[in-house]
C-alpha cells in the first residue's frame, strides 16, 4: 500500500517535471540565441579580468568610421543583399564569394548570424592584414597570437534574426554586402604586446585607405569594410 503511494507520487513528480520542462522549452525557444549569447559573454567575462579587457584606450579615437563611410565603400562593389545562406552559397559556387577558414594566421569562429564568405577583395585584405601582423610579431620576437573573425557576410534572414536578439543591430547592415567582417579582440586579452602590434597594423591599413574601421566596444570587435 505504502509502496503504491510512493510510486504514484513519484509518477506525479516525474510527470510534473516533464510538463514544466516542456513549457520552459516552448516559452524560451524564441530567445535561444539571446540566451546563448548571454551565457557565452558571462563565461568570457569570468575568464578575462577587466583591466586587460579593453583592447586599447585610444581605439575609440583611432577607429571611428561610421555607417556612411562603410556604406560608401560597399556601394561601389558590394553584392546585392541575399535572402538566405543558400543564396550566399550559390554566389560562392559561382566564384563571386570566397570561403574563409581557420588557418595559421587567424581563427574563423562559428557564426550564428552570418556565413564565413567574403568578396575576394575583402578576403585578400584579411590575408594582407594577417601577413603584416605576423611579420611584425616575428620582428618583435613574440609568440604569435591569432586574431578571430567573429562575423562576415549576413543575409536578410540572418539580419532579421539578429535584430530580434540584439537591440543594436542595424537594418541595412554593411555585413550584407560581402566586403565587411568583424575581428574580435577577446583573444588578445592576456597579450597586450600582440594586441598593440595588431592595432598598429590595422591602423596602417586604415591610414592607407585600404579599409574603414569602427571600434565596436559593445560587440567586442573591430568592424572592418574593405575599400
Ligand atoms: Zn560588424
CA of 225 to the centre of ligand 1 (A): 9
Global pTM? Answer: 0.76
Residue 110's pLDDT is 93
> Is the separation of the CB atoms in 70 and 85 below 8 Å?
no
CA of 223 to the centre of ligand 1 (A): 4
Q: Is the pLDDT of residue 36 over 70?
A: no
Three-state SS for 223?
strand
CA of 52 to the centre of ligand 1 (A): 22
Q: Is the pLDDT of residue 39 over 70?
A: no
Interacting residues of 213 by C-beta distance below 8 A, sequence separation 6+:
62, 63, 65, 202, 206, 222, 223, 224
Q: How far apart are CA 220 and CA 19, in angstroms?
A: 39
Q: Which domains does the chain have, with CATH numbers?
A: 1-47 (no CATH), 53-226 (3.30.1380)
131-185 confidence digits (pLDDT tens): 999 999 999 999 999 999 999 999 999 998 888 776 555 656 899 999 999 999 8
Helix (H) or strand (E) holding 106: strand 106-108
Residue 48's pLDDT is 46
CA of 96 to the centre of ligand 1 (A): 21
Residue 18's pLDDT is 75
In the structure grid, which three cell numbers stand for residue 158, read together?
Answer: 540572418
What is the sign, positive or negative, of the torsion defined by CA atoms of 215, 217, 218, 221? positive
CA of 224 to the centre of ligand 1 (A): 7
Amino acid at each position: 500500500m505504502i509502496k503504491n503511494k510512493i510510486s504514484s507520487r513519484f509518477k506525479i513528480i516525474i510527470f510534473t517535471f516533464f510538463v514544466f520542462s516542456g513549457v520552459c522549452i516552448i516559452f524560451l525557444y524564441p530567445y535561444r540565441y539571446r540566451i546563448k549569447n548571454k551565457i557565452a559573454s558571462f563565461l568570457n567575462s569570468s575568464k578575462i579580468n577587466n583591466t586587460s579587457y579593453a583592447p586599447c584606450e585610444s581605439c575609440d579615437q583611432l577607429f571611428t568610421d561610421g555607417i556612411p563611410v562603410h556604406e560608401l565603400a560597399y556601394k561601389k562593389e558590394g553584392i546585392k543583399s541575399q535572402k538566405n545562406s543558400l543564396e550566399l552559397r550559390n554566389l560562392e559556387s559561382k566564384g563571386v564569394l570566397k570561403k574563409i577558414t581557420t588557418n595559421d594566421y587567424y581563427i574563423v569562429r562559428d557564426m550564428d548570424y552570418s556565413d564565413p564568405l567574403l568578396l575576394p577583395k575583402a578576403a585578400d585584405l584579411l590575408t594582407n592584414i594577417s601577413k603584416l601582423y605576423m611579420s611584425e610579431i616575428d620582428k618583435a620576437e613574440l609568440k604569435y597570437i591569432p586574431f578571430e573573425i567573429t562575423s562576415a557576410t549576413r543575409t536578410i534572414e540572418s539580419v532579421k534574426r539578429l535584430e530580434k536578439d540584439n537591440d543594436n543591430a542595424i537594418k541595412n547592415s554593411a555585413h550584407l554586402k560581402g566586403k565587411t567582417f568583424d575581428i574580435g579582440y577577446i583573444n588578445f586579452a592576456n597579450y597586450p604586446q600582440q594586441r598593440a602590434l595588431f592595432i598598429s597594423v590595422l591602423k596602417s591599413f586604415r591610414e592607407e585607405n585600404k579599409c574603414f574601421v569602427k571600434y565596436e566596444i559593445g560587440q567586442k570587435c573591430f568592424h572592418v569594410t574593405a575599400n
